[in-house]
Structures are given as C-alpha cells and as structure tokens.
Homo-oligomer: A and B are copies of this chain.
C-alpha cells in the first residue's frame, strides 16, 4: 500500500464558499429557533412545524439541514456543552481561594439561565458518552473542570488522588444538586439548594485529595 497524498480537494470556488456559509447560517437559525421555543414553552412544545414556522418556512425544510429531529437536538446538546465550557473557563480564572466555588457557581448559573440547554444536555438518551465517540464538546467541558480542580489542589500544596474520578464525583454532585433544585424537589427553594451545594462542595473536594 503506497502512502498517498491528500485526496486533492478541488479548491472551493467563491460562490461555493458563500453557499456553504449560508447553509451553516441556516442550520444555526434552526438550532436557535428550537432553543427559543424550548425556553419559552418547554421541550414538549418543540415540534418540527413550530421550528420551521418561526423562520417562516414549512416543516420539511428541517431535513435539508438535519437528518432528523433528534440529530438537531443532539447538536443543540453540543452547543450546550460548548457554552458551559466557556463559562467554566471564565470561572477558572478567579483567584485560587475562591476558584472552586466560582466553578460551581458558573455551573449553577449556566444551568438556570440556560435551563433549556441544560435539559437538552441531560435529558437526552441514546448519545454515547463512555465510548470513543463521546462528543468533543462534552470532553472539553470535562477537561476544563479537571484542569481547574488540579490547579486548586496544587494551590493548596496537594494533589488529586484520582483526577478523573474527582471530576466525575464533582460533576455528579453539581448535576445532582441542580437536577433536584430544577425539579423543585428541594424544600426551601432554589436559593437554599444553591447554598447547601456550595457549603458541601468544600469537604467533597477535600476528600478527593491524596491522603
């Protein structure tokens, strides 16, 4: 088998580039429409027809840009992970003493200000996560949290006993708190849930340090 050069892509013309750009814009508009409907009236109200209506198109237009409704939702999920990653990266820049709380607050704030995305990210089943085809955006969010946790441990002159495990645990804790609070399952309301979460975060993190 001889080592080949690149398949020689025939240099896209100017108008081809424009059309591809417009195509991506249309995809983005469809995603945004779905997201807005979900934010206004919940995910049950997100139908193909309503998405198309919002852009003054007819229903089948969606299939020119996505292979199915589900694939649109999965892509929205990735948008969610990307935005979450951004927020986490901002929080990771706070000074070390408050960095841990800042990360948790960033997660919390994202969940409640973009709750429609948060729901899409966590309510979706059928998306492979453990496997090699885990969405890159999800991996990035995970990596951002890991880096932050490691830096916090380092700033305390310690290190994580199991970096990957620590991220899983912290992530699970944050998600559990948000999940219960969002479902209205915490007596005392959302603010109380947030306080409880922040109070317990510290010992939970300490437990992840090498003994």
Q: Which residues of A contact B (CB under 8 A)?
A: 42, 122-123, 125, 128-131, 138, 162, 164-165, 168-169, 171-177, 179-180, 183-189, 192-193, 196-197, 199-200, 202-204, 206-208
Q: Given A164-B187, A175-B176, A176-B172, decide whether A200 and B196 contact each other with a Cβ distance below 8 A.
A: no
Q: Determine the chain B residues whose CB is within 8 A of the CB of A177 once the complex forms.
A: 169, 172, 176
Q: Determine the chain B residues whose CB is within 8 A of the CB of A130 once the complex forms.
A: 184-187, 189
Q: Quick check: A179 and B122 within 8 Å, CB to CB?
A: yes
Bound form: Cα–Cα A164–B187 in Å: 8
For A129, A172, A173, the residue with the greatest tally of chain B CB atoms inside 10 Å of its CB is: A172
Least Cβ–Cβ distance between A20 and chain B, in angstroms: 33
Q: Quick check: A125 and B173 within 8 Å, CB to CB?
A: no
Q: Determine the chain B residues whose CB is within 8 A of the CB of A207 once the complex forms.
A: 199-200, 202-204
Q: Quick check: A175 and B168 within 8 Å, CB to CB?
A: no
For A128, A185, A204, A206, the residue with the greatest tally of chain B CB atoms inside 10 Å of its CB is: A185
In this complex, what residue of B is CB-closest to A172?
B176
Q: Determine the chain B residues whose CB is within 8 A of the CB of A187 once the complex forms.
A: 130, 164, 168
Q: Determine the chain B residues whose CB is within 8 A of the CB of A202 once the complex forms.
A: 207
Q: Quick check: A173 and B171 within 8 Å, CB to CB?
A: no
Residue among B162, B173, B189, B206 making CB contact with A173, cutoff 8 Å: B173
- Which 5 pairs from chain A and chain B are nearest by CB? A176-B176, A172-B176, A203-B207, A129-B185, A130-B184
Bound form: Cα–Cα A186–B173 in Å: 13
Least Cβ–Cβ distance between A95 and chain B, in angstroms: 24
